[in-house]
A and B are shown apart, each in its own frame.
Chain A
Amino acid sequence: MSNNSFTDLLKEINTTKATIAAYSPSTKEDIQLAPLTLQQQKSIIESSVDSTLASLFFNNTFFKILKQNLGGDISRFDTVDRVNFALQLRSQLSDSYEKNDTTISVNDILAKNRTIAYTPTEKQIVMDNYTFTVRTPNLVIDDKVNVVLLNKYKNETLNGNKLKTLISDLFVHEILKFIPKLKVNDKEILLHTDLQAAANLLENIDSIKFVQITDYINTIRDTERSFATIPGTDTIIDIIPEFFIV
């Protein structure tokens, strides 16, 4: 074992670390974000498993990183913020990114993103005797739902019926992320307190009642994509593990 110089060096590295300013579209403020460590870069790359659950693994890993690097209450931020935070963390590693043989400046995308108007709003969707309260999921609820699915499927071999169940579960849980409250007649149910029970409940509702909700979800996912769009083009950057290989 070496001496104090190892501890000194670790201390030095951690104190000389400067946080970076990242823009949160939902709160319209600049927040302080610690840059990605080499270990975090490695964990992102390792989350790139070739499976149907790849995006869940990646989002789960990225959530853990944001929790470490943001500090404070991470539930203040939503999945649209996540796109901007990912771009900011990537730009710290290198501003340039190759997409379709073109070199793109990630900072140009970040600058463009400050001009996008995005205000997260809660909305009521009424379908017969059901009133759904919908809003963009915050990062905590997004992760909790992802974890439910990961725990259910991570050790499964996905073929045949299992794959069908997964697809159906992905659909239900995606909807669940966006619905914090449901009112049936006069009874209000908070869906994000017991996720498993909430998923079971949603499964028993006629899917026709979710049409407007899926439209709403698509609008939010489009907004997320607009934050990942290269300025002046329709080209979208995929925020996937490979994006962080620098």
Chain B
Amino acid sequence: MISNHLNYNINGKQLKIREISFTEYKNLCKKLFTDDVNELQAVFNEILSSTVIGPTLNCVEKFYCLLLIRNLLYGNEFAFQYNGINTTMDLKTILNAFKFTVNDVVVTDKNVEYHFNIPDNLYNPTIDRVIADSLKKVVVPTKEIECSTFSYEEKLTVINNSNIPLQDTFNRLQNQFRQLNIPFIKDIEIDIITGTLLGFLKRVFNDNIGAIYNFEYVCIRSLNFGANDFDKYTLPELKIFLNSLKSEQSKSNNGQDS
């Protein structure tokens, strides 16, 4: 298990992020063999809970964090095909384009004010759940009640018992959260509600599983690694080891030749 944590400040929150080991990386790529958004969400939540130490994050902060973890693994470059053309982009461009704040959406029903802001989940399957996940505060005539400590199900219960209009509230949230859309390429943007966060994460984390096994085999053969060793090193570290070995071998071959 890797214990080295790197310090980051994301939207004013101090976080410690641990690099993921080769074993974790390989398991992640295996788990990404799904298009089920609920499964994808579980996979990325698992990575976050096992690698990030710090305060609770909303979905934009989670997404940013995951991209940092991804860049620690692969570097900043992301290669993909756009309209059939091989393209490479620097993911730092995306990281620099992040907006972390929007004003609250306030929906009033009689004497009760419901305050909404960025949801916590990377994806919510239904519009009532988007509304519930975005609930931050309720102001009743006598007091203000912060909802940040409420569980997801508790927020849902509050929302289900309210009389606010379902579709109109969702539309207002969707309009507000549009300000947080992250430009990706040309006319494509990543938005925070429709599941594109998860789709994008899947694309940037996914790697060819066959190539991963080949790489693991080369490490076992060349570095005399056992299964447990892969828990201790990251993918970039293993690549460095192999490169060092190659360069050592080539020096030694050159020595023999001369």
Q: Which residues of A approach B to under 8 Å, CB–CB?
A: 1-3, 5-6, 8-10, 12-14, 16-18, 35-39, 41-42, 45, 92-94, 245-246
* Cα separation A18 to B126 with both chains bound (whole Å): 28
Instruction: Find chain A residues with CB under 8 A from B145 CB.
Output: 5, 8-9, 12
A2 touches B150 (CB 8 A): yes
* Cα separation A41 to B166 with both chains bound (whole Å): 7
B166 touches A1 (CB 8 A): no
Instruction: Determine if B221 is an interface residue (Cβ-Cβ < 8 Å).
Output: no
Instruction: Find chain A residues with CB under 8 A from B131 CB.
Output: 38
Interface string of B128-167 (1 = CB under 8 A from A): 1001000000101111011101110010011111111111
Instruction: Find chain A residues with CB under 8 A from B162 CB.
Output: 13, 37-38
Instruction: Find chain A residues with CB under 8 A from B111 CB.
Output: 16
A2 touches B163 (CB 8 A): no
Known: A12-B140, A16-B110, A17-B110. 4 other contacts (CB 8 A): A5-B145, A38-B128, A41-B167, A93-B168
The chain A residue sitting closest to B146, CB to CB, is: A5
* Cα separation A37 to B169 with both chains bound (whole Å): 13
Instruction: Determine if B57 is an interface residue (Cβ-Cβ < 8 Å).
Output: no
Instruction: Find chain A residues with CB under 8 A from B164 CB.
Output: 38
Interface string of B162-197 (1 = CB under 8 A from A): 111111110000000000000000000000000000
Instruction: Find chain B residues with CB under 8 A from A2 CB.
Output: 149-151, 154
A6 touches B158 (CB 8 A): yes
CB distance from B128 to the nearest CB of A (A): 5
B112 touches A5 (CB 8 A): no
- Which residue from A10, A14, A246 sits with its C-beta under 8 Å from B165? A246
Instruction: Report if A35-B163 is in contact (Cβ < 8 Å); known contacts: A16-B112, A16-B140, A42-B128.
Output: yes
Instruction: Report if A39-B149 is in contact (Cβ < 8 Å); known contacts: A13-B138, A16-B140.
Output: no
* Cα separation A36 to B163 with both chains bound (whole Å): 6
* Cα separation A86 to B111 with both chains bound (whole Å): 23
B168 touches A94 (CB 8 A): yes
- Which residue from A6, A9, A18, A41 sits with its C-beta under 8 Å from B110? A18
Instruction: Find chain A residues with CB under 8 A from B167 CB.
Output: 41, 245-246
Which residue, A9, A10, A37, A92, has most C-beta atoms of chain B within 10 A?
A9
User: In the complex, which range does the number of interface residues on chain B fall in?
Assistant: 20 to 34
Q: Which residues of B approach A to under 8 Å, CB–CB?
A: 110-112, 126, 128, 131, 138, 140-143, 145-147, 149-151, 154, 157-169
Instruction: Find chain B residues with CB under 8 A from A12 CB.
Output: 112, 138, 140, 142-143, 145
CB distance from A169 to the nearest CB of B (A): 33
CB distance from A93 to the nearest CB of B (A): 5
Instruction: Report if A9-B158 is in contact (Cβ < 8 Å); known contacts: A16-B110, A38-B128.
Output: yes
A13 touches B149 (CB 8 A): no
* Cα separation A151 to B151 with both chains bound (whole Å): 37
* 4 closest cross-chain pairs (CB), A and B: A39-B160, A246-B165, A12-B140, A41-B166
A13 touches B158 (CB 8 A): yes
The chain B residue sitting closest to A36, CB to CB, is: B163
Which residue, B140, B158, B163, has most C-beta atoms of chain A within 10 A?
B163
A41 touches B154 (CB 8 A): no
B163 touches A92 (CB 8 A): yes
B168 touches A246 (CB 8 A): yes
A3 touches B149 (CB 8 A): yes
Instruction: Find chain B residues with CB under 8 A from A13 CB.
Output: 112, 138, 140, 158, 161-162
* Cα separation A61 to B181 with both chains bound (whole Å): 37
Instruction: Find chain A residues with CB under 8 A from B143 CB.
Output: 12
Instruction: Report if A9-B138 is in contact (Cβ < 8 Å); known contacts: A16-B111, A38-B131.
Output: yes
* Cα separation A92 to B147 with both chains bound (whole Å): 26
CB distance from B49 to the nearest CB of A (A): 18
The chain B residue sitting closest to A17, CB to CB, is: B163
Which residue, A3, A36, A246, has most C-beta atoms of chain B within 10 A?
A246
B110 touches A37 (CB 8 A): no
- Which residue from B141, B150, B165 sits with its C-beta under 8 Å from A16? B141
Instruction: Find chain B residues with CB under 8 A from A42 CB.
Output: 126, 128, 160, 166
CB distance from B18 to the nearest CB of A (A): 28
Instruction: Report if A37-B165 is in contact (Cβ < 8 Å); known contacts: A3-B149, A13-B140, A16-B111.
Output: no
* Cα separation A36 to B128 with both chains bound (whole Å): 14
* Cα separation A70 to B140 with both chains bound (whole Å): 25
* Cα separation A35 to B165 with both chains bound (whole Å): 11
